[in-house]
A and B are shown apart, each in its own frame.
Chain A
Amino acid sequence: MRLLRWTHRATTGILLALATWGAMVYVRPAEGFLYPDGARIIILHVPCAWIACLAYLVAAWYAVRILRSVGRGSRQQWRRADDGCNAAMELGLVFSALTTITGSIFSRLQWGAFWSWDPRQTSILVIMLLFAAYLVLRSALTEPQTRARLSSAYALVAVVPGLFLIWVLPRIVNTLHGGANQAVIGGGLDPQYRLVLYAFALPGFLGLFAWLMQLRMRIAALEDRTINQR
């Protein structure tokens, strides 16, 4: 177990170092861009967007587990799931904020405006607001079981607008991100970019996300223990 944990951390570190090297040194400046070197930010932008969406899925999965076990299962069960849901939402907020910032910088370089209400930009903004709204809702509730129930109910209701943003809205409004229905944005990327993105950056960010989740949940478990001891 200990070995596994250290392998995970070491691999994450190596992958992220490789991704940094890839983004800064290995990939060529993209041709046909207004600022060819600006394209390097894609290697940070795309994994952040993926991790933000993954964080939402993880949080929704925990929310389902909370609603299935709260009031029925043991207290420990839904408390852990609630910690997990909260941790995923917090990390989601961080990664969606990073996605929005890197995206607007790229958008300014390439299309001349920081923000243009493109459906994909709107999606990441709405997802970021959902993460923030979830955390605000939690802060307005004090009793742990009520907090677990209401916040996970909100997390699941918010899946509906998420689905609409991904599948319905891009078909109604025009998008900058090439191909309204293109779920994977990397379609038109250079092979070098694709290599760095899929081989180093994405697995590296996945490892980072898993590690941060573990840390956040351990902190929550320690907080629970100190509260219970008092």
Chain B
Amino acid sequence: MSQAWWRQALAICAKDMRIEFRERTSVTSVLLFAVTSLVVVGFALAGLALTSDVAVPLLWIVLFFAAFSGLAHVFVEEEEGGTASALLMAASAEGVYVGKLLYNLALLGVVGLVAVPLFLLITGLPVPRAGQFVGVVVFGSVALASAATIVGAIVAKARARGALFGALGFPVVLPLLMMAVVATRRAVGADADDWSWMRDVGGLVGYAAMMVAASVLVFPAIWETN
């Protein structure tokens, strides 16, 4: 416990990334999930003239299910590998939480880098204000990852994890999804650009910040259960 929490966090994140680099289980499974669901969406909508109002929610549905299919993995692998107790002794709860959060942000970032361009390719959605679109997607994903990380930490300690993760996650992220959909619609919409998108991005950043703050407060209680 001698190290500062942020050093511990970076070490834990690096450890998880090294494991991931050797095994490539969670990146490939989450990525494959996102790509598969995008292909299903594209297949189902083939030949239809898609308006941005319809296309935008599809993107967030795919990102939501991608996040809530794989982001509990970082905690589940510690439980199943029996390494949770060792980590509990080696690092502070804050360090573990922040490290896992950083890893999940990176994981969802990789998924987004593949899934979002693919989504634009499949739907042929024009993005008139690309900067605004990227900003909304990036901060929306950050907020999504912050919610998925804490719910994943809870779910990893329970039975019937797979079904529970989505069920517990959905009500927590529903307001975020609604904000993200409205904000993304504005980014691809035709109406003249004003500064209202600042409010949208502010809402997403605020959600992420509050979720991280609440998580830091409750994480020790979750992590210290055996």
Q: Which residues of A contact B (CB under 8 A)?
A: 67, 70-71, 122, 126, 129-130, 133, 136-137, 140-142, 145-146, 149-150, 152-154, 156-161, 163-165, 168-169, 172-173
On whether the beta carbons of A158 and B171 are closer than 8 Å, the reply is yes
On whether the beta carbons of A126 and B222 are closer than 8 Å, the reply is no
Q: Which of B7-15, B123-131, B155-163 contacts A (4 or more CB under 8 A)?
A: B155-163
Identify B221's interface contact among A70, A141, A161, A164, CB under 8 A: A70
On whether the beta carbons of A146 and B214 are closer than 8 Å, the reply is no
User: Which residue of chain B has its CB nearest to the CB of A163?
Assistant: B210
Apart from A129-B171, A158-B171, what are 17 other A-B pairs with CB-CB below 8 Å? A67-B221, A122-B175, A126-B174, A129-B174, A136-B164, A136-B168, A137-B154, A146-B157, A150-B157, A152-B221, A156-B214, A157-B151, A161-B171, A161-B173, A161-B174, A164-B207, A164-B210
On whether the beta carbons of B224 and A161 are closer than 8 Å, the reply is no
Distance, CA A157 to CA B179, complexed state (A): 18
Q: Which of B42-50, B62-70, B198-206 contacts A (4 or more CB under 8 A)?
A: B198-206
Distance, CA A150 to CA B150, complexed state (A): 11
Closest 4 CB pairs of A and B: A129-B171, A153-B218, A164-B175, A140-B158
Identify A126's interface contact among B175, B215, B221, CB under 8 A: B175
Identify A133's interface contact among B168, B200, B203, B207, CB under 8 A: B168
Q: Chain B's nearest CB lies how many Å from the CB of A144?
A: 11
Q: Which residues of B contact A (CB under 8 A)?
A: 150-151, 154, 157-160, 164, 167-168, 170-176, 178-179, 182, 199-200, 203, 206-207, 210-211, 214-215, 217-219, 221-222, 224-226
**What A residues does B150 contact at CB under 8 A?**
157
User: Which residue of chain A has its CB nearest to the CB of B171?
Assistant: A129
**A71-B224, A149-B222 known; A173 vs B178 contact (CB < 8 Å):** yes
On whether the beta carbons of A140 and B225 are closer than 8 Å, the reply is no
Distance, CA A164 to CA B174, complexed state (A): 10
**What A residues does B178 contact at CB under 8 A?**
122, 169, 172-173
Q: Secondary structure at chain B's binding surface: helix, strand, loop or mixed?
A: helix
Q: Chain A's nearest CB lies how many Å from the CB of B19?
A: 25
**What A residues does B182 contact at CB under 8 A?**
172-173
**What A residues does B176 contact at CB under 8 A?**
161, 164
On whether the beta carbons of A160 and B218 are closer than 8 Å, the reply is no
Q: Chain A's nearest CB lies how many Å from the CB of B7?
A: 26
Identify B172's interface contact among A153, A158, A169, CB under 8 A: A158
**What B residues does A146 contact at CB under 8 A?**
157, 225-226
User: Which residue of chain A has its CB nearest to the CB of B153?
Assistant: A153
Give 14 A-B contacts (CB < 8 Å), ordered by A residue: A71-B224, A129-B170, A130-B172, A133-B170, A150-B158, A152-B218, A157-B215, A157-B218, A158-B171, A158-B172, A161-B171, A161-B176, A164-B210, A173-B178
**What B residues does A156 contact at CB under 8 A?**
214, 217-218
Q: Chain B's nearest CB lies how many Å from the CB of A164?
A: 4
User: Which residue of chain B has its CB nearest to the CB of A68?
Assistant: B221
Distance, CA A157 to CA B215, complexed state (A): 7
Identify A140's interface contact among B151, B164, B215, B224, CB under 8 A: B164
**Counting chain A CB atoms within 10 Å of each CB, which of B171, B179, B206, B217 scores highest?**
B171
On whether the beta carbons of B168 and A160 are closer than 8 Å, the reply is no
On whether the beta carbons of B225 and A149 are closer than 8 Å, the reply is yes
**What B residues does A154 contact at CB under 8 A?**
151, 154, 168
Identify A168's interface contact among B160, B168, B206, B224, CB under 8 A: B206
Distance, CA A126 to CA B217, complexed state (A): 23
Distance, CA A156 to CA B220, complexed state (A): 13
Distance, CA A140 to CA B168, complexed state (A): 12
Q: Chain A's nearest CB lies how many Å from the CB of B164?
A: 6
Identify A172's interface contact among B164, B199, B211, CB under 8 A: B199
User: Which residue of chain A has its CB nearest to the CB of B199?
Assistant: A172
Distance, CA A5 to CA B176, complexed state (A): 44
Distance, CA A142 to CA B175, complexed state (A): 31
On whether the beta carbons of B179 and A141 are closer than 8 Å, the reply is no
Identify B171's interface contact among A70, A130, A149, A172, CB under 8 A: A130
Identify A161's interface contact among B159, B172, B199, B219, CB under 8 A: B172
Q: Chain A's nearest CB lies how many Å from the CB of B222?
A: 5
**Counting chain B CB atoms within 10 Å of each CB, which of A156, A165, A172, A173 scores highest?**
A172
